Structure 1
Amino acid sequence: MRVHDIMTSPAQVVRPDAPVETAADLMTTYAVTALPVVDTGDRLLGMVSDSDLLWHRVPAEPRTDPIRHPDVVVHPGHRPGVVVEVMSDHPVVVGPGADVADAAQLMLEHDVRSLPVVEDGVVVGVVSRRDILRAVVRDDSVLAADVRRRLDDYAGRRDRWTVSAEAGVITVAGEFPNEQQRAVVALLARTVPGVAAVRLPGEPAADEAPVPA
């Protein structure tokens, strides 16, 4: 499964000179935790997260911890006004053709909840932890129905092949006139997010595979 199969596209983005309030409104409206910061050509300049927006914008309450805050701060100092002042200008990115497993590993290694998807420097989408979870945690009946729809579209009619799913493994039954069609059907089935493997007629199950001599 590739990033382009599950990413959100087009992505919600923000300009570097936009007020931080605009970024906050976008995150709230679209229920996202971060936004790519782009120029007028949608080229990536940085990433701004909800954590970036909170930094220096929630004043401490000295009375709650007088040891840590011995003085009441009347003037909290400069509060960033535009996105460029708070964004991360070296964000971790991923390409649309990257394996989803690699994207998940990047998120864990860098402790981020989403990644801008960039192709030739241009933001083409965003992939989040939620996108990955939604793709991999899918009911077998949903997977089978999704694969069936794609195969019906390819065949131009319904019920050319029957499709079943078990633990994410798709089994396609039916006639295949040649190996080229078998390869196309297998490829189409694998493009469905959440599919772990594809079995076609004549292929043994893992526990039926011949043991090497």
Structure 2
Amino acid sequence: MVKSFQGVRAAEPKKMAAPIMVEDHMSTNLVTFYPEDTIDHVLDLLTKRKISGAPVVDHQGKLVGIISEVDCLKEIIKGKYSNTPSFPGTVAEHMSSDVITMRPDLSLFDAAQQFLEMKIRRFPVMKDGKLIGQISLSDLIRAFPKLKETTW
């Protein structure tokens, strides 16, 4: 019988992939609106850019709200009621001002949990008090099929 004199070999540690973060999949070329913009303007841009909502910032770039297609429906219904084909209402009148944000270093799995719990379609991404991007439910869904077993 031949015995090995190499001794017990230590198993190679598995290389852990870095977690997949929000910043890896967020949109950074954002459409933003100002509180005084009209709903006409919002509807026009949302339609042209094929998006369903966007952050609202003041003139210093500070996040003050978020406006979505659903928010715009309020003005559309008001226009139908008063028989006016234009929508002169302002973003400030219809935006959500209680905005929940995400950090860029949040993992996609933690972000997915927040999407499920809060039933929100988009989150502005903030770093050091500044708006740096936005992650939507669509961004998240597009990211998961790209994950490999090693990054899962």
The answer to whether the aligner puts 1:169 opposite 2:149 as a matched pair is: yes
Q: Which residue of 1 aligns with 2:142?
A: 134
Unaligned 5+ residue runs, structure 1? 62-72, 144-167, 171-194, 197-213
Aligned to 1:116: 124
- Percent identity over paired residues: 31
Q: Which structure would you say has the larger Rg?
A: 1
Q: CA deviation at 1:60?
A: 10
Structure 2 regions of 5+ residues with no counterpart?
A: 1-19
What TM-score does the superposition give when structure 2 sets the normalisation length? 0.76
Which residue of structure 2 aligns with residue 3 of structure 1?
Answer: 22
Deviations 1:71-107 (A, max 9, x none): xx6x479x76110000001011101111112222222
Counterpart of 1:208 in structure 2 is none
Point out 4+ residue stretches in structure 1 off by more than 6 angstroms. none
Give yes or no for the alignment of 1:43 onto 2:62: yes
Partner Cα separation in structure 1 for residue 68 and residue 144 of structure 2: 25
TM-score using structure 1 length? 0.56
C-alpha distance in structure 2 between counterparts of 1:117 and 1:96, whole Å:
6
Q: Deviations over 1:131-162 (max 9, x none)?
A: 11111113xxxx6xxxxxxxxxxxxxxxxxxx
Q: Which has the higher contact order (CA 8 A, sep 6+)?
A: 2
Give the direction of change, closer, same or farther, for the CA distance of 1:80–1:93 in structure 2 (3 Å limit): farther
What is the alpha-carbon distance in structure 2 between the residues aligned to residue 26 and residue 96 of structure 1?
26
**RMSD of aligned Cα (Å):** 2.3
**1:1-213 correspondence to structure 2 within 5 Å:** 1-58=20-77, 75=82, 81-138=89-146, 168-170=148-150, 195-196=151-152
Q: 2:9 corresponds to which residue?
A: none
